[in-house]
């Protein structure tokens, strides 16, 4: 008996599968929180040199208010620099305007810039640190660890470290789940995520934060891929496309809800804790989440597979033959006699072309999807609203995929969605930036259209990869 034939007898998407499928989909929400949290915990608020603590004692500038100090010592459009204090005082003396800084009552500041006329002043790097705007974010790793100016590379490094963790997690968890089973790897990923997220929220320096962020990337990716595999393996062939895209739709829900959580919790340490602690709840799944039947049979654990099948049949209200597991063993796809390796992707010219095509699609889709998702703060308007909308446009993209893929196949929807996303992104980047509110809004709309297109294509290539490659290679 073929495994898909068994699923038709058991119930392709019966009550047993629906409950466990929903439980696995909930993890997609938490996975999205950790995949995209850098948008908020690493956001770069407006900043300028801190001039409040500069020692101006004994000079005519010592009694200036904070606003007046800024107008004297901070150049326009130069966040990382300030005017040199001694040079400014020398220029004022040479201009002969020292007495005119204040009026007769010595109370009204007249403005140094106008008094100095066209005299240029020397700029220097900020001497007393930086002052950050608290209008949008209370505290981020950027403001706490001063990841600006000459330390700005730390922020981009943290993103690179996170995605390096995702790469390692995909490779390691894929291999381990094929050897030890999907279920233990899911719980290992959840445990790693809780530990790494908690330690990261307490990190006193970037040196401590980065390794933990790497582990978060590895853990969330590994657990998500295992959950996705379990979710799609437990349903029949008729529902497999729907299951894949519904699972990813929950990821989009996590995308949107992260915006709300970040809006309410604007301090990065508390935000990190808020999205990490809920992962502990997935430990309850130990008593509800079964191992993959496919994996159990292919590894000779027939008794466990039979027990799970009987429980599913009882819940779905169907009766199975006594020798159902033995008949499944005759299905070639259930046998573990063939061990796959990466070289199998390029063993023949036909397979090489197919693999290169799939890899290129993954490269393009990942670059554009995360490029748009992680840079919504650079769009005009509220970063929270833009981020929420960027998640919301994914839902209709997945709905269209569900409606089309079983009718017209995979290739043309993939091509058309990538074409739509690419054109929209190119147009969004080509719009002039002259401060026009209408153009800024149009650029945001085009970016969201691009997000819609790339989400559809990303979901399709995800599905195609699952259909083409065995889990260990995938």
**Which tens digit of pLDDT belongs to each residue from 230-261?**
888 888 888 888 888 999 999 999 999 999 99
Contact 214, 378 (CB under 8 A): no
User: When comparing pLDDT for 252 and 79, which is higher?
Assistant: 252
Question: How many Cα neighbours within 13 Å face the side chain of 187?
Answer: 13
Which structure tokens are listed for 168?
A: 């390692």
Q: Residue 470: its pLDDT value, please?
A: 63
**93 CB contacts (<8 Å, ≥6 apart)?**
none
Residue 35 vs residues 119, 217, 222: alpha-carbon distances, Å = 50, 7, 12
Q: What is the DSSP letter of 50?
A: -
- Read off the pLDDT band of 118 (50, 70, 90): low
**421 CB contacts (<8 Å, ≥6 apart)?**
368, 449, 450, 451, 452, 453, 454, 456, 457
**DSSP characters for 86-115?**
HHHHHHHHHHT-GGGGS-TTS-----HHHH
Q: Residue 377: its pLDDT value, please?
A: 82
* Mean of pLDDT over the chain: 85
Packing angle of the helix pair 394-408, 411-430 (nearest 10 deg): 150
pLDDT greater than 70 at residue 340: no
> Quick one: average pLDDT of 395-405?
92
pLDDT greater than 60 at residue 354: yes
Q: Residue 99: its pLDDT value, please?
A: 47
Q: What is the pLDDT of residues 250-293, one digit of tens each?
A: 999 999 999 999 999 999 999 999 999 999 999 999 998 999 88
- Read off the pLDDT band of 409 (50, 70, 90): confident
- Read off the pLDDT band of 104 (50, 70, 90): very low
**Domains of the chain with CATH codes:** 1-42+139-338 (1.20.1250.20), 47-132 (no CATH), 343-474 (no CATH)
Question: How many Cα neighbours within 13 Å face the side chain of 439?
Answer: 9
Q: Residue 319: its pLDDT value, please?
A: 85
Q: Is 224 exposed, middle or buried (0-12, 13-18, 19+ CB in 10 A)?
A: buried
Of 461, 354, 381, 371, the residue nearest 417 (C-alpha)? 461
Q: Residue 107: its pLDDT value, please?
A: 47
What is the rounded distance in angstroms from the CA atom of residue 86 to the CA atom of residue 164?
A: 47
Q: What is the pLDDT of residues 13-25, one digit of tens each?
A: 889 999 999 999 9
pLDDT greater than 90 at residue 216: yes
- Read off the pLDDT band of 429 (50, 70, 90): confident
Beta-carbon count within 10 A of 75 CB: 14
Contact 101, 109 (CB under 8 A): yes
pTM (two decimals): 0.86
Q: What is the pLDDT of residues 41-61, one digit of tens each?
A: 999 898 888 888 787 776 667
Instruction: Please report, rounded to a whole number, the percentage of residues in the chain having pLDDT higher than 90.
Output: 43
| Mean pLDDT lowest among 118-127, 175-184, 193-202, 231-240 | 118-127
| Mean pLDDT lowest among 3-7, 146-150, 298-302 | 3-7
């Amino acid at each position: 008996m073929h495994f898909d034939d068994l699923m038709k007898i058991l119930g392709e998407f019966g009550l047993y599968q629906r409950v466990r499928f929903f439980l696995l989909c909930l993890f997609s929400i938490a996975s999205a929180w950790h995949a995209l949290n850098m948008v908020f915990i690493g956001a770069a608020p407006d900043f300028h040199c801190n001039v409040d603590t500069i020692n101006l004692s004994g000079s005519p500038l010592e009694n200036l208010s904070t606003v007046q100090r800024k107008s004297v010592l901070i150049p326009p459009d130069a966040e990382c620099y300030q005017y040199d204090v001694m040079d400014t005082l020398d220029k004022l003396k040479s201009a002969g305007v020292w007495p005119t800084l204040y009026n007769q009552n010595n109370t009204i500041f007249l403005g140094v810039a106008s008094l100095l006329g066209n005299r240029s002043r020397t700029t220097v790097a900020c001497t007393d640190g930086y002052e950050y705007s608290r209008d949008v974010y209370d505290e981020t790793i950027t403001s706490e660890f001063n990841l600006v100016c000459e330390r700005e590379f730390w922020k981009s490094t943290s993103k690179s470290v996170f995605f390096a963790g995702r790469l390692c997690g995909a490779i390691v968890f894929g291999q381990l789940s094929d050897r030890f089973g999907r279920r233990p790897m899911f719980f290992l990923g959840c445990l790693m995520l809780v530990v790494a997220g908690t330690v990261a929220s307490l990190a006193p320096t970037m040196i401590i934060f980065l390794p933990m962020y790497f582990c978060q990337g590895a853990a969330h990716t590994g657990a998500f891929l295992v959950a996705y595999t379990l979710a799609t393996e437990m349903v029949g062939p008729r529902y497999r496309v729907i299951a894949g895209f519904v699972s990813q739709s929950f990821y989009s829900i996590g995308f949107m809800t992260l915006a709300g959580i970040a809006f309410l919790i604007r301090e990065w340490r508390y935000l990190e804790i808020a999205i990490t602690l809920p992962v502990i709840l997935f430990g309850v799944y130990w008593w509800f989440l079964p191992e993959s039947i496919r994996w159990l049979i292919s590894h000779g654990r027939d008794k466990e597979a039979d027990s799970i099948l009987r429980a599913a049949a009882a819940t779905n209200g169907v009766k199975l033959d006594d020798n159902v597991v033995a008949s499944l063993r005759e299905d070639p796809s259930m046998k573990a006699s063939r061990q796959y390796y990466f070289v199998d992707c390029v063993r023949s010219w036909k397979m090489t072309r197919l693999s290169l095509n799939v890899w290129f699609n993954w490269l393009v889709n990942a670059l554009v999807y995360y490029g748009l998702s992680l840079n919504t703060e650079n769009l005009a308007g509220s970063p929270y609203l833009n981020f929420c909308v960027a998640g919301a446009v994914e839902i209709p993209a997945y709905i269209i995929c569900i409606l089309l893929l079983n009718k017209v196949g995979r290739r043309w929807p993939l091509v058309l969605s990538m074409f739509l996303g690419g054109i929209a992104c190119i147009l969004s980047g080509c719009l002039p930036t002259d401060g026009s509110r209408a153009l800024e809004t149009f650029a945001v709309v085009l970016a969201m259209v691009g997000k819609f297109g790339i989400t559809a294509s990303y979901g399709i290539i995800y599905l195609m990869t699952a259909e083409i490659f065995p889990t260990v290679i995938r």
